[in-house]
Structure 1
Amino acid sequence: MGLEGVIGKRKSSTYVSRRSPDWIKLKCSQRQEFVIGGYTDPQGSRVGFGALLGGVYDKDKRLRYAGSVGTGYSIKTLHKLKAELDKIETADNPFAKATDIPRNARWVKPILVAEVSFSEWTRDGHIRHPSFQGLRADKTAETITREKPVRSSAPKPSPAAMPKVSNPNRVIDPSTGGGGIQRLF
């Protein structure tokens, strides 16, 4: 439906105008691969690099800048990835006609592929709220293009096809203090 997410609430809770463990926001996210074309220097106490600069190839085989990814890294990952970036550093900007790339960018040969989760694409073709998930050694940079979400064409199940709940009060996971259907909805 293209919504940002859904709200989950305990069935017995009432609305309050503050954060509450009885109401939670479950955000939808997207995930895809991006070609690493550069990075920014670290700032403050950060080590390795600040953010990766990622892009996707368009239909004319030009690498289009899609945004910077500054979160999702462990200290170990920052060090390891910086060592890889140092090996492929170049003086040439691999992105086609991008004007919104950070000024302190350092360029790399566009051969590494990163998997990134993000909330949405902006109108100008950038990703919002990106987070690094890892490198993809099984994909080549030249194959990375912007993916288009496909809505399911499967029919919605009829109420008769929905599973029957045998015991809605049964405790399923005692470690969470929760239990059955009654406590979850």
Structure 2
Amino acid sequence: MAFDVLAVDGRDLTDEPYVKRREVLESLVVEDTGAVTVPKAFFGVPAADMLEVAAQHHIEGIVSKRVDSPYREGRSPWWVKSPVRRSAELAVVAFTGPPGRVGALLVAGYRDDGGLELAGQVGTGFSAVMRRHLFEVLHPLVLDAPPVVNPPGDDQGWRWVEPRYVGEVAFREWSPGRGLRHASWKGLREQVDVRATRLPTVI
């Protein structure tokens, strides 16, 4: 996959605008061989619309570039990667953290056979107020045993709770056995039946 071209026949192109480098790159690709592929570029389309299309086609995300930007190594405001983020409503089944606040949560979803299966861990996206609030509502629900069918081998200080609360969790990817990747807390969901929570689908 070729995304950019920096030089051709000894001629440095890094100071040329991206739109010019793109033209040169496309002129170098021989379509019949299939050895090098240049991802299609879309000009003048809002990033939000492109992200929606990427999600529909199960693509990891998009890269947005300024068409007048030169090429520079490293991070740059001219070249921004935006990952597709999915979300799911999941049951809160465990928490950990110092006294008085939540540091991280374990979340789960119900399987078709009625078993509550662990989906993964969430440790980011909490405000200080939310960390304290979650402790207040979860601490009275502490259980002696895990309510899930697949508790982790090492409890790592998790305090298991009765699954009464549902939270929305944003994430990049989910797969059985590996759990959620890049998960982030979005908030508690009111008036959602915990029995209606389901594991994310595999994409």
**TM tier, shorter chain?**
0.7 to 0.9
Quick check: 1:40 aligned with 2:92?
no
Post-superposition CA distance 1:103-152 (Å, at most 9, x none): 311011011001010111135251101111110112111110124389xx
Q: Of the candidates 1, 8, 15, which is equivalent to residue 64 of structure 2? A: 8
Q: Of the candidates 138, 141, 164, which is equivalent to residue 191 of structure 2? A: 138
Give the secondary-structure state (helix, strand or coil) at the position aligned to 2:88. Answer: strand
Letter in 2 for 1:61: G
Q: Looking at both structures, which has the greater relative contact order when contacts are Cα pairs under 8 Å and sequence separation is at least 6?
A: 1
Label 1:102 to 1:16 Cα distance change in 2 as closer, same or farther (>3 A): farther
Q: Of the candidates 130, 137, 143, which is equivalent to residue 84 of structure 1? A: 137
What is aligned with 2:165?
A: 112
Task: Could you tell me which runs of 5 or more consecutive residues in structure 1 were left unpaired when the two chains were aligned.
Answer: 151-185
Give the paired residue count.
147
Distance 2:68 2:157 in 1: 52
Q: Which one has the bigger helix percentage?
A: 2
Question: Radius of gyration: which is bigger?
Answer: 2
Distance 2:100 2:74 in 1: 36
What is aligned with 1:59?
A: 112
Give the secondary-structure state (helix, strand or coil) at the position aligned to 1:134. Answer: strand
The percentage of counterpart residues that share the same residue type is 32
Q: Cα RMSD between the aligned structures?
A: 2.0
Distance 1:97 1:123 in 2: 11
Label 1:101 to 1:141 Cα distance change in 2 as closer, same or farther (>3 A): farther
Give the secondary-structure state (helix, strand or coil) at the position aligned to 1:90. Answer: coil
